[in-house]
Structure 1
Amino acid sequence: MPTRPSLRRCALVALVALGLTGCVAPKHQASSPTSGASASSTSDPALARFYDQVLEWTTCGDEQCADATVPLDWEEPGGETITIALRRAPASSGSPVGSLLVNPGGPGRSAIDTIGFFRQIVSRDVLAAYDLVAFDPRGVQHSSPVTCVDPAELDELAAWVPDWSTDEGIAEAVARNGEFGEACLDRTGPLLGHVDTRSAARDMDVLRAALGDEALTFLGFSYGTELGATYAALFPERVGRFVLDGALDPTLDSGQVAAGQAAGFESALRAYVTDCQAAATCPLDGDVDAGLAQIERLFDRTQANPLPTGTDRELTSSLAFSGVAAALYAQSSWPLLTQALTKAIDAGDGSVLLQLADSYYGRAADGTYASNQNEAFSAILCLDDRPSADPDDMRADAAEVTAVAPTVGQFFSYGGASCAQWPVPAVGSLESYAAEGAAPILVVGTTNDPATPYAWAQSLSELLSSAVLLTYEGEGHTAYGRSNRCVKDAVDTYLLTGEPPADGTTC
């Protein structure tokens, strides 16, 4: 999801909308075997209880569930612990070569709840070879979760339109986000200071060992690519077959991320308008620039006078943009965006854009939220990076962002306000992501990806010393399972044989 200074700073989620049933008793040991490998453990006696733990699997419909134990604070492994939830679809062959860990992005998206998505996009041959293992990183949904505010307060934050035109408006935004952070600390406790990406990557190595795998095999989308790159940097000798699709460059600061995403969404929106105007019906008149101007006027209109939606919630400019952005993640959603814009522009009806915005935030029709992804998103990003909240710095950054994205740039600016008063210290990123000595890592990039621009796939493939770049020429966020046979065959061959495509292959 794109920058939302009132609630979030950037969007790296791979949008999926498949709900699954929860885990149920009775307990039993898993029937499917592990790889049989002698999993690398640890030379640190303080960590042995984590690396040597035996997972107790339970039935979860036609899948299996377990909880792993990891340290709350990796610097104090003898202290408090937290749990990491796993959900496993055993290899259909009955004889797995190992486990394929998966992450859908976010940060904050639940892999447990989207395992059905992975079972649909991962090929049958790969599902026959591997146990498919979804896990929720620390702070996310089924693992020890971050908790901040109730659904009504999330509604207010998603709809809120900050005033960035004055120092007073900026100060109000900083304070309001600070109050949100304090609510997270009050309800979450010490965990809030330990949901950073580095800690989550260290958890993954415990999962690898507990699953019985000598090397980790991983499929990560969007933010999941940063999680995978961090693991590779920390444990290069334990990297197995890694697919990082919809890549994020972890060395970028928040301002660079905002500018890149703004340009990405602007480009995707331009592609949508071009397609819309070529159709039989489209609410956007004139040429592409005129169509973009109409969308910008809709944002301005909803900022001054929110649109009715047929509910007790109005469509603000923040929600209008969220609705537009949600439809840009996949080209298959463009017809729904046309329907939403037609209602909003021609009839002053914001109902369909509100539905798109709600899907974006995981909000159900009854006002509940399907997960804690919005809260986890903010908590993880505010630990990983703390951008400047100086008004002059943010104004300068905003000018650069709107220069490259005149239609949507306003929604990617002033991100420093999100974490300025976050109540726990930032952890920051690693000094190097070279991962020297790692096995080949497959980085996949889409040329007109709105959320993770193609340039990031190029830069990540340069950062990782063993990376191979696979390019999909097309629209939408991520490529594997939603693009073409060329991409799927290349990824499947790599996962099944360890042989990546030639570096620079284009599909």
Structure 2
Amino acid sequence: MVVAGLAAASVMLSGCLYSMIPEQSSSKPSATNAPDTEGVAENLLRFYGQTLTWTECGTGFDCTDVTAPLDWENPGDGEITLSVIRHQASGTAKGSLLTNPGGPGASGVDLIQNSLDYAVGADLIANYDVIGFDPRGVGRSTAVTCFDAAGMDDYLYSIPAAPRGSAEWETELLAAHKKFAEACEANSNGILPFITTINAARDMDLIRGVLGDKKLNYLGYSYGTFLGATYAELYPERAGRLVLDGAIDPAVSGLEVSATQAIGFESALRAYMKSCLDSGKCPFNGSVDEAMTDLGALLASVDASPLKNGDGRRMGADALMTGIIAALYSEDSWSYLTDALSGALQGDPSIAFQLADFYNGRENGTYADNSSEAFRAYNCMDYPVEDDPAAEAASTAKIAEGAPTIATYWDGPDSCSVWPYPPTGTRGEIHAKGAGPILVVGTTNDPATPYEWSESLAKQLDEGVLITRVGEGHTGYNKGNTCVDKAVEAFFLDDTVPENGLRCE
């Protein structure tokens, strides 16, 4: 909410970088179950009782559109479309398994279509109809639309003329945020006030109902944990097996989220730096502290004198920081970060731009999705406005102390302060009383959703069960840790609830 820098603004609560995974294929003809309309209010029956038309959308996948109310409080006031994809169980199906890759703003359709066996393990693919969907405002669903590609380039990559941290700099950034917000309002056909996590959770129950499932089985990553926990709070009697991986703490404020994430990325950056120094191929030398100081000097140098790329773009420190953060989501990307930093030290930002472009969904001068727009829309409606100068100063001091390398490129004016609609979301604990056991998976050095959030959510939930993955990177399931994978899959397949506090080294 308060992450500044036009490039770094899309960092907070961002989802996993799933689109790196190669396309998958499988096959099975489509089938449709009768909708579940039990207990549905009369004014919602036309939505829950709709008949789905499935069409093939790639080998082994079929797709459909689900019609949902624009405003769940007033379902007669308009409709939106939700894009849904299905991969049917290769064996006997236990029902549907909905998935969400995070964001907010990441495409669940793309996750399943391009990265099925990265989203879920083979045993779940065999035993569940795996469902991906684009939440309202996202991708192929009725979507938030703001700038064209040139406008997004200017918004995400432009370098402010005023000195960083000055009043003029803040004014310049705030003007850019306002221009972006005005474009979103002008081009999104009135949907912005309804792009909220509560509405998206209600959409998930609609998807459950039209698929014919009595209860929702769900695997949510990153922001998807907040979506899943919200669902369990709204519909505890309809919560089936829920696994929340890389949890967000629903009780922390936007300022707390920003500070905790900054410290999490600093910790991941230090872990990367140690690995880099140990590799013998690192562009930095000395101790981790010395290398971090040198990295800080590189960022300051790029901030003062941006690097020119071969395509004519200039890389400032904000874009370089975006590239760094993109690579910290997974240890598998650390070698690319080494190449990017080596290039930047030699005046070549091309690999760093590749990382930043990948993070922002930019491909060959265009944008493959609307994740940045949807991200802003959800967060600006979900998080209450914070305008307490003392709280802001405390957050800034916490970031400066706990994330000294990142801090300079993290703080700035609140982009949501110029959003065209006031937020409707609140921050508070989620207990989901009556929902049954809910698994929460946390990774000890997860930079994007720090481990303390998983600990907190598991304690808040009336029947929360914490699984700890000891390691680096964002999220824990299906990342090669057999202990985590077995616990999650035994829960989905056999209703086996692991011991609370299971620690997977």
Q: 2: CA distance between counterparts of 1:484 and 1:431? A: 32
Percentage identity across paired residues of the two chains: 44
**Using the alignment, how far apart are the partners of 1:56 and 1:430 within structure 2?**
38
Question: Cα deviations across residues 1-56 of structure 1 (Å, max 9, x unaligned)?
Answer: 993453436132111125899xxxxxxx973354x7x8353342111111111211
1:341 pairs with 2:321: no
Residue in structure 2 matched with residue 247 of structure 1 by the alignment: 247
Q: Within 5 Å, give how 1:280-299 maps onto structure 2.
A: 280-299=280-299
Query: What residue number does 1:26 align with?
Result: none
Q: Secondary structure at the match of 2:220?
A: strand
Match of 2:19 among 12, 17, 20: 17
Q: How far, CA to CA, are the matches of 2:428 and 2:395 in structure 1?
A: 24
Which amino acid in 1 is paired with 2:223?
A: Y
Q: Structure 1 residue 319: deviation in Å?
A: 0.7
Look up the match of 2:138: 140
How many angstroms apart in 2 are the aligned matches of 1:497 and 1:212?
21
Distance 1:456 1:206, change over 3 A: same
Tell me how far apart the structure 1 counterparts of residues 305 and 336 of structure 2 sit (CA, whole Å): 23
2 CA distance for matches of 1:178 and 1:339? 36
Task: Tell me if structure 2 keeps the 8 A contact 1:42–1:48.
Answer: no
What is the CA–CA distance in structure 2 between the aligned matches of 1:405 and 1:205, rounded to whole Å? 40
**Any idea what SS the aligned residue of 1:325 has?**
helix
CA contact (8 A) 2:396 2:411 kept: yes
Q: Which amino acid aligns with 1:178?
A: K
Q: Which moved more, 1:404-413 or 1:350-359?
A: 404-413
User: Could you tell me which of 375, 378, 381 is aligned with 1:377?
Assistant: 375
List per-residue Cα deviations over 1:230-276 (Å, max 9, x = no partner): 10111111111111101101111111001110110000000011111
Whether the 8 Å contact between 2:340 and 2:349 is mirrored in structure 1 is yes
Q: 2:154 matched to 1:152?
A: no
Q: Does 1:456 align with 2:453?
A: yes
Query: How many residues end up aligned between the 2 structures?
Result: 495
1:470 alignment partner, SS class: strand
1:194-233 to 2 correspondence within 5 Å? 194-233=194-233
**SS at 1:240's partner residue?**
strand
| 1:490 lines up with 2:492 in the alignment | no
Which letter does structure 1 place at the counterpart of 2:446? D
CA distance in 2, matches of 1:468, 1:216: 18
Structure 2 vs 1, CA of residues 86 and 448 (structure 1 numbering), >3 Å: closer, same or farther? Answer: same
Gaps of 5+ in 1: 22-28
Structure 2: distance between partners of 1:148 and 1:105: 20
Comparing 428-437 and 83-92, the one that deviates more = 428-437
Mapping of 1:50-69 within 5 angstroms? 50-62=47-59, 63-69=61-67
Counterpart contact for 1:173–1:417, Cα < 8 Å: no
Q: CA deviation at 1:172?
A: 2.8
Give 2:174's aligned residue. Answer: 174
- How far did residue 399 of structure 1 move? 2.2
Q: What amino acid does structure 1 have at the position aligned with 2:233?
A: A
Task: Give the Cα–Cα distance (whole angstroms) in 1 for the partners of residues 300 and 280 of structure 2.
Answer: 27
Conservation of the 8 A alpha-carbon contact between 2:36 and 2:49: no
Matched residue type, 1:83: T
Q: Which residue pairs with 1:468 in the alignment?
A: 465
Q: Check conservation: 2:330, 2:473, Cα contact below 8 A.
A: yes
The residue identity in structure 2 corresponding to 1:52 is: G
CA offsets 1:294-334 (integer angstroms, 9 cap, x no match): 11111111111111222211111011001111111100111
Q: Is contact 1:3–1:413 with CA below 8 Å preserved after alignment?
A: yes
Give the secondary-structure state (helix, strand or coil) at the position aligned to 2:77.
coil
Q: 1:504 & 1:282 partners in 2: Cα distance?
A: 37
Mapped pair 1:446 → 2:427: no
**Residue 358 in structure 1 maps to residue 357 in structure 2:** yes
1:32 maps to 31
2:16 alignment partner AA: A
Q: Which amino acid aligns with 1:12?
A: S
Shift in Å at residue 493 of structure 1? 0.7
Instruction: State the TM-score, normalizing by the size of structure 2.
Output: 0.94
| Cα drift, residue 431 of structure 1 | 5.0
Unaligned runs of 5+ in 2: none
**Contact 1:9-1:378 within 8 A present in 2 as well:** no
Helix, strand or coil for the counterpart of 2:225? helix
Cα separation, partners in 2 of 1:423 and 1:164, compared to 1, 3 Å: farther
Asked if the contact 2:253–2:427 (Cα under 8 Å) also holds between the matched residues in 1, the reply is no
Q: 1:282 to 1:2 in 2, by over 3 A?
A: farther
Q: For structure 1, which segment, 377-386 or 41-50, has the greater mean C-alpha deviation from structure 2 after superposition?
A: 41-50
- 2:151 and 2:484 mapped to 1: Cα distance? 42
Measure the CA separation in 2 of the matches of 1:422 and 1:229. Answer: 26
**Secondary structure of residue in 2 paired with 1:114:** helix
Q: C-alpha distance in 1, partners of 2:2/2:332?
A: 19
Distance 1:457 1:113, change over 3 A: same
**RMSD (CA atoms):** 2.2
Structure 1 residue aligned with 2:498: 501
Q: What is the one-letter code of the residue matched to 1:243?
A: V
Amino acid paired to 2:434: G
Alignment CA distance shift 1:483-1:262 (3 Å):
farther
Query: Which amino acid counterpart does residue 173 of structure 1 have in structure 2?
Result: L
Cα–Cα, structure 1 residues 124 and 424, in superposed 2: closer, same or farther, change >3 Å? same
CA contact 1:148–1:187 (8 Å) conserved in 2:
yes
Identify the residue that residue 313 of structure 1 maps to in structure 2: 313
CA distance in 2, matches of 1:494, 1:171: 51
Instruction: State the 1:342 CA deviation.
Output: 1.1
Question: How do 1:53-202 residues align onto structure 2 when only pairs under 5 Å count?
Answer: 53-62=50-59, 63-93=61-91, 95-115=92-112, 116-161=114-159, 165-202=165-202
Letter of the structure 1 residue corresponding to residue 371 of structure 2: Q
1:329-360 per-residue CA deviation (whole Å, 9 max, x = no partner) reads: 10011111111111111x12111111111111
Residues 439 and 464, structure 2, Cα contact 8 Å, conserved in 1: yes
Q: Deviation of residue 430 (structure 1)?
A: 6.1
